[in-house]
A and B are shown apart, each in its own frame.
Chain A
């Protein structure tokens, strides 16, 4: 017990840990970047996949539904492994070599399940719009693209935003999985700090700090999403 830095004397533990905070925040910045980029890619790919799911043509709808199910049902960690190990670290386009650092691979990995979930959210949102709206659009001789963009999507948006925000919370939290494959995100940084300091008393407050960082970032988003759900939920008649 004598070797353990006293946890009950917070001065000593935090005095060591606080100088490392800027580095941890930098690591957390990478978490945010990865989650934001993969969300962005996932939203575009997911919107396309969701629209394909709604297709009346069986040869398009069925594979799209299968792909959605597949993406949603695979564990995130397995997908991360999959992309990390199977994606090349550089690629030749024309005469240029484009390299993929591991955080780019992480973005690709996380955007895959996001695509699946967004696809399902889009489908649910489209379903929530009354059939009469589709019929009205058809009566006005709108094509499928115009029906989607000027009639259905503006109405479905309110249905889709809260779950999308919840999904973003999940993605932001899932970025910590990139730690396992060695991306320099906040937990990896924390582990490096712990190895550098080699003080067992630091372990608890250091991991506690990462937990608090995630909480401070994710909790406001999840609160906002709940608020929006409540406000918009009232206006929808079924």
Chain B
């Protein structure tokens, strides 16, 4: 670590390439914290999206039609509008209207922090995508399998829980993995409402040192690194949950 810091400080003095996060301890700490927040956003967003997606998928199977329409409307709306506009609507619109994001009259902190708003926004947006993915997964389960379950005396919900869902989940895993990668990328959106994640911290640093080019490259590499890690994790999960005889 010490050597790296020395190298980059030397680099700055010799060539003017100022990778300040790599030798300035205080900025490094701030930036690492930014990465940590971005990862945290991604993980909470992922969890929320999975829960909302599974819930929607479940509600769509209910026989009560108006409920199905409502869920479909939610899914279509959130899939076909920009995440940033959704976030603004939630944070500035609903947040200020219901006084969730504003400070109280006596300076009480807001009910929901910007961080939580981003998590809610990501969950709602990607929950809609997850719901679609899971539905496609359920549809991809062979009809014969469902019929076999029926022949064995499984009820509608029992068949769903014991037979269809486990298969559907495994079929949708690659698509879910892609979705997860999208969430990681979308955390950069949190910049817009001043959550101090990687991009925001980088912005703070480059306004101080005017090292935009260097910091932009650092940010790009950071995100590529995060994406790489997430892709590896998805691949591990896929291998772990692999069903013999299905797919490759």
Contacts and interface: CB of A to CB of B under 8 A. Distances in A.
A85 interface: yes
B147 to A, nearest CB: 23
A179 interface: yes
Contact of B93 (A76, A85, A176, A204): A204
Given A70-B224, A78-B199, A187 B85 contact: yes
Contacts of B216: 78, 81-82, 85-86
A219 interface: yes
B179 interface: no
A74 B223 contact: yes
Interface residues of A, number: 36
B220 A219 contact: no
Nearest to B212: A85
A7 interface: yes
A134 interface: no
A180 interface: yes
Contacts of B189: 77, 177
B96 interface: yes
Contacts of B181: 73
A196 to B, nearest CB: 15
A180 B194 CA distance: 11
B82 interface: yes
A203 B97 contact: yes
Contacts of A36: none
B93 A203 contact: yes
Contact of A207 (B80, B92, B188, B227): B92
Contacts of B81: 173, 211, 214-215, 218
B154 interface: no
Contacts of A210: 85, 88-89
Given A81-B199, A215-B77, A176 B220 contact: no
Size category, B interface: 35 or more
A203 B92 contact: yes
A164 interface: no
Contact of B220 (A78, A85, A207): A78
A92 to B, nearest CB: 21
B94 interface: yes
Interface in B187-213: 187-189, 191-192, 199, 212-213
Interface in A127-161: none
Interface string B67-101: 00000000011011111111011001110110000
Interface of A: 4, 7, 70, 73-78, 81-82, 85-86, 169, 173-177, 179-180, 187, 200-201, 203-204, 206-208, 210-211, 214-215, 218-219, 222
9 contacts: A70-B224, A73-B185, A77-B188, A78-B220, A169-B80, A173-B83, A176-B82, A207-B88, A215-B80
Top 8 nearest A-B pairs (CB, nearest first) are: A173-B82, A75-B185, A176-B82, A204-B93, A207-B89, A77-B188, A218-B80, A75-B188
Interface of B: 76-77, 79-86, 88-89, 92-94, 96-97, 181, 184-189, 191-192, 199, 212-213, 216, 219-220, 223-224, 227-228
Given A75-B184, A175-B82, A177-B189, 8 more contacts: A77-B191, A78-B220, A82-B216, A82-B220, A179-B192, A214-B85, A215-B77, A215-B81
